[in-house]
Structure 1
Amino acid sequence: MTHLFLSDITPLCNDSFFEFAYKGLPEDKKGKVDKLIFRKDKNLSVGSQFVLVYALEKQGYDFSRLIIKKKKNGKPYVENENVYFSLSHSGNMVLCGVSDFPIGVDIQEMTDYNPPVAKRFFKQNEQRAISAAENSEDKKNMFFRIWTLKEAYAKMTGEGLGGFRNFEVVPEKGLLKSLSELGCRLFEFESDEYKIAASSKDWESDVQIHRVDIIECISMIAKSNP
């Protein structure tokens, strides 16, 4: 089963709550937060860590016992359990995917559509799909739809942005073009002004998405790890 955990981390804008959450981080994670310049990035970093812990523990894993390492391409993985995860954040939202199979997730706040970005990272058919959209709002919608799907797949494989032009994702007639030849399934969701996508090698079950209250999440983890 593949699960997505979505959380609005806006409460971390409160200084007192941020400090409470920050103090509950492991020392290495505190160091990562300290290196960030902007408060928004610090909030997202802190929120991502807690949502990850919450998501894995909700799936029955003791996070304190998990050994998390990184591959040469920078993709994190769990060394001592058969569980996979992927993190993404944008705007004030954090997204974490957890599965028994390789997974990649992406979330993007739908800000302005930037044509040069599409030209740089998208293949010709993907660019044509955007150009064929009827108006600027539809073009923006198509751009972020394609972007999140591509990034979810690239995060699953560990290729990152550098692999964007190695494959294409073209939604056709409102449906997603099959990527079965690439050995994965792709899923799409929307939440307010955000596009969400997941790429999974789980062929048997659908993706379930869960809303996470960040205050409840952080408070629960802090109490269990005094």
Structure 2
Amino acid sequence: MKIYAARVCAIQAAEEKRLCELLDSDRMVKVRTLKHQKEKERSICAGLLLRYAFLQAGYHENAWQQIEIEKGEYGKPQMKEYPDFHYSLSHSGEWVVCAADAAPVGADVQEMKPWKMQLAKRFYHREEYSRLLALGEMDTDRQTRAFYRMWTAKESVVKRTGRGIGAGVSRYVTTEDFQCVYDEAANETIHIKQYDELEGYIVCVCSESGNFPKKLELINITNMG
């Protein structure tokens, strides 16, 4: 498994066309429909990071140029002719993350912004909500970090299958050490790994293989292509 992270960069009009030609055809179409420049830059950076992950996995540029992306059972994007290449993209604030593995994988990155306990009460398991309440009485910074560690854990789990948070996330209970998520509905323990190398952000990855790298690989988007 590899986990790549790249800071979203400003893209000048002269560079945009050249970089878009490096993207898969689906993302090219998506970028053209985006009206806001920041959204375009974020989508282009995500597409470039996916291309980088694909090439680093040992595939050739010719294969990338012919890539077709289809939707899986729950709508998760996957590469049509490469069943052994699984990936998950996520973005938040200034960062884009791409996890790639030979087994299904889910990744989530979240910028730690101000939040409200009502969100935890609505979406989290009662045990998690109680843990957050207890932390709030001792250390609000730890409480905020715990809130986002819970959120990224749940997001990464649902993104592994493509079900999305609409399927409900309170069934997924994070352990206190944040190394596992217990799925109450399926009676299953799912392994995760979290990374705090990006200041002000939390990254979480969930994979069937459990073969997590120790660190993120930071990539400079401007050097691609």
- TM > 0.5 fold call: yes
Q: Percent identity?
A: 25
The question of whether the paired residues in 1 share the 8 Å contact of 2:8 and 2:41 is answered with: yes
Runs of 5+ unmatched residues, structure 2: none
What letter is aligned with 2:221? I
Give the corresponding residue for 2:192. 186
Aligned ranges 1:14-163 → 2 under 5 Å: 14-25=12-23, 28-62=26-60, 63-81=64-82, 82-133=84-135, 134-163=138-167
Distance in 2 separating the partners of 1:39 and 1:112: 25
RMSD: 2.2
Is the 2:153–2:174 contact (alpha carbons within 8 Å) kept by the matching residues of 1?
A: no
Which digits, 9 at most, give the CA deviation of each residue in 1:170-197, with x for residues without a partner?
A: 342x453464953632000011111000
Cα distance in structure 1, aligned partners of 2:25 and 2:102: 29
Match of 1:4 in 2: 3
**Map of 1:212 onto structure 2:** 219
Give the structure-2-normalised TM-score.
0.85
**Greater RCO, CA 8 A, separation 6+:** 1
Shift of residue 80 of structure 1?
1.6
Task: Tell me: CA distance 1:118–1:16, structure 2 relative to 1, closer, same or farther (3 Å).
Answer: farther
**Deviation of residue 92 (structure 1)?**
1.1
List gaps (5 residues or longer) in structure 1.
221-226
Deviation by residue 1:145-185 (Cα, 9 ceiling, x = unmatched): 0000100000002211123435223342x453464953632
Q: What is the number of residues matched between the two proteins?
A: 214
Q: TM-score, normalised by structure 1?
A: 0.84
3-state SS of 1:10 partner:
coil
Equivalent residue, structure 2, for 1:176: 179
Change (3 A) 1:102 1:27: closer
Q: What is the alpha-carbon distance in structure 1 between the residues aligned to residue 166 and residue 174 of structure 2? A: 19
Q: Which residue of 2 aligns with 1:223?
A: none
CA distance in structure 1 between the aligned counterparts of 2:128 and 2:34, rounded to whole angstroms: 34
Cα pair distance change 1:184/1:64, threshold 3 Å? farther
